[in-house]
Amino acid sequence: MDKEIRKVVIVGGGSAGWLTCAVLAAEHCANSENGLQITLIESPDVKTIGVGEGTWPTMRGTLRKAGIRETDFFRECDASFKQGAKFAQWVTGAKDDAYYHPLVLPQGYSDINLVPFWTEHADKVSFADAVCFQSHLCEQGLAPKQNTTPEYAHVANYAYHLDAGKFSTFLQKHCTEKLGAVHILDHVEGVNSHDNGDIASLQTRQHGALQGDLFIDCTGFNALLLGKHFGIPFKSCKEVLFNDTALAVQVPYPDEQSAIASHTISTAQSAGWIWDIGLPTRRGVGHVYSSAHQSQDGAEQELRNYLSASIGKKANDLTLRKIDIQPGHREVFWHKNCVAVGLSAGFLEPLEASALVLVELSAAMISEQMPATRTVMDIVARRFNDKFRYRWDRIIDFLKLHYVLTKRTDSDYWLDNCRAETIPQELQSLLQLWRYQSPWHQDFTQIDEVFPSASYQYVLYGMGFHTQPGATQRRSANERLAQQHFAKNQEMTRKLLSGLPTNRELINKIINYGLQTI
């Protein structure tokens, strides 16, 4: 039990497997004699799901720590800049119904809550426009920095859109050629156990028994180790988040220099919503919906109708790929000497790009808390499970928030989403609290919350939520400070709108000339 942890075996590739591999191999010196031995094994026949095309700003730090040049990432992964999400037709369903969840925090966020001071002007300016400049940048298709800004640095906080397949290939090459990871293409045909129930080795078709001290399950929905071998139950949340099917399609641009949206576009439909992600060479579009509320034929027709608005009759010729989704997660994520990362741990839906950030967060905690011995591993596992149970619960709450405030009554889907029995108790409590005071730092208990209170503000007030102005009677001391921040935001908006290139222009320069290294 006090055996030193020296060999880590990752089962499964894709974005989850190779991103986890990159984090562990870089931070634990897999390319040195005394470092951890990192081996990734994947089946040569299994294709990855490959629809996770949106990231969070955390990806910048993850790639930098792995020793990856941002220029190489853009050139190899068909990547573009993402500055937030635009939610269209989620409130009333009207054509002009839209709001932004940007990636920039509200002005003065650490010092002052601007919501009470914005409320009296809510009929004149949206919350996002009043407190940050990024929604304006998105509307104009602008980039978050200039070509003279160094790699990973920013003028406006940003994440990425990327081609998930190309991203996996890029990470694989980096991990094996520069970070010292070992890559094995083979079939796992069985699991060999120690007397205490730990995994001793994986029985492979061509390489025999592959031994390890810690096994990381990145086998997608299959959950080969945590689910099938250990039998860890799956906890469904379909009673909260209804969407269980997606139809995905790759959409060509009219020409090579077509504008690239610098945000994810999420457009609500009768029983779900359509994502629209702009990459340099194509768009990634998909319709995620509830099969209990809509047929596949109906969902396909809505998707093709959406596409026809931009590409005309060509929409009828595109091939759609169906993806079945089980919204939920495993009851525990780390059991004995096995931890699940990515889809093997769970999946909810594409809204707010939570899939890849959960991979990042999982890999970061495994790396930081890498147990020195098997005995210590049980302590780390308990902490990991506690942390990620909390994170999954909060993500479920935040995703549900997008649905429960709708004013749409045009289908059972939207009506059912507002039924109290489908809303988690914690979210119900917060919504009751926020009717009298707006979200702020102390509403949440973790320092490293997945979604900060600012994200709740953007969605709440974007959806037309109303906080009673009672607390504003005690705000006089901050009135001047608030007006200063509003004015500063207007000044920053004017400055950046006149000084930033378009998303397409900057990406072209990166591909042709590269970015400065920090």
76-94 confidence digits (pLDDT tens)? 999 999 999 999 999 999 9
The reported pLDDT for the residue numbered 469 is 77
The reported pLDDT for the residue numbered 516 is 86
What is the pLDDT averaged over residues 176-185? 98
State how far the Cα of 288 lies from the Cα of 192, in Å rounded to an integer.
39
383-400 confidence digits (pLDDT tens)? 999 999 999 999 999 999
> Which residues neighbour 479 within 8 Å (Cβ) at sequence distance 6 or greater?
117
From the list 406, 428, 426, the residue with the least C-alpha distance to 416 is: 406
231 has a pLDDT exceeding 70: yes
In the chain, the amino acid numbered 218 is C
The reported pLDDT for the residue numbered 224 is 97
Q: What is the 3-state secondary structure (H, E, C) of 194-239?
A: CCCCCEEEEEECCCEEEECCEEEECCHHHCHHHHHHCCCCEEECCC
% of the chain beyond a pLDDT of 90: 92
State how far the Cα of 508 lies from the Cα of 163, in Å rounded to an integer.
17
State how far the Cα of 502 lies from the Cα of 490, in Å rounded to an integer.
20
From the list 47, 46, 42, 344, the residue with the least C-alpha distance to 188 is: 42
- Provide the pLDDT confidence category of residue 518 given band limits of 50, 70 and 90: low
> Which residues neighbour 73 within 8 Å (Cβ) at sequence distance 6 or greater?
63, 79, 160, 170
Beta strands in 72-133 (DSSP E): 80-82, 84-88, 98-102
DSSP run (H or E) holding 127: helix 127-131
484 has a pLDDT exceeding 50: yes
In the chain, the amino acid numbered 182 is V
The reported pLDDT for the residue numbered 474 is 53
Residue 208, Cβ neighbours under 10 Å: how many?
Answer: 11
Question: Which domains are seen in the chain, by residue range?
Answer: 7-53+163-236+327-393 (3.50.50.60), 103-148+394-499 (no CATH), 244-324 (3.30.9.100)
The reported pLDDT for the residue numbered 444 is 84
472 has a pLDDT exceeding 50: no
What is the pLDDT averaged over residues 267-278? 98
281-296 confidence digits (pLDDT tens)? 999 999 999 999 999 9
228 has a pLDDT exceeding 90: yes
The two tokens of residue 64 are: 């930098």
In the chain, the amino acid numbered 208 is G
State how far the Cα of 285 lies from the Cα of 479, in Å rounded to an integer.
44
Contact of 449 with 392, CB cutoff 8 Å: no
Lowest model confidence (mean pLDDT) among 42-51, 209-218, 313-322, 352-361: 42-51
pTM > 0.85: yes or no = yes
What is the pLDDT averaged over residues 197-218? 97
Return mean pLDDT, the chain: 95
From the list 123, 107, 99, 105, the residue with the least C-alpha distance to 483 is: 107
Sort strands 7-11 and 214-217 into parallel, antiparallel or unpaired.
parallel
Residue 490, Cβ neighbours under 10 Å: how many?
Answer: 15
From the list 325, 91, 82, 377, the residue with the least C-alpha distance to 221 is: 325
Selected residue with higher pLDDT from 120 and 321: 321
369 has a pLDDT exceeding 80: yes
User: Is residue 49 classed exposed, middle or buried when 0-12, 13-18 and 19+ CB atoms within 10 A define those classes?
Assistant: buried
428-462 confidence digits (pLDDT tens)? 999 999 999 999 988 887 778 899 999 999 999 99
Residue 110, Cβ neighbours under 10 Å: how many?
Answer: 7
Task: Write phi, then psi, for 251 (nearest 5 degrees).
Answer: -120, 120
What is the pLDDT averaged over residues 323-349? 97
The two tokens of residue 338 are: 């096995």
The reported pLDDT for the residue numbered 470 is 64
The reported pLDDT for the residue numbered 460 is 98
Give the highest mean pLDDT range of 112-121, 166-175, 474-483: 166-175
What is the pLDDT averaged over residues 496-514? 96
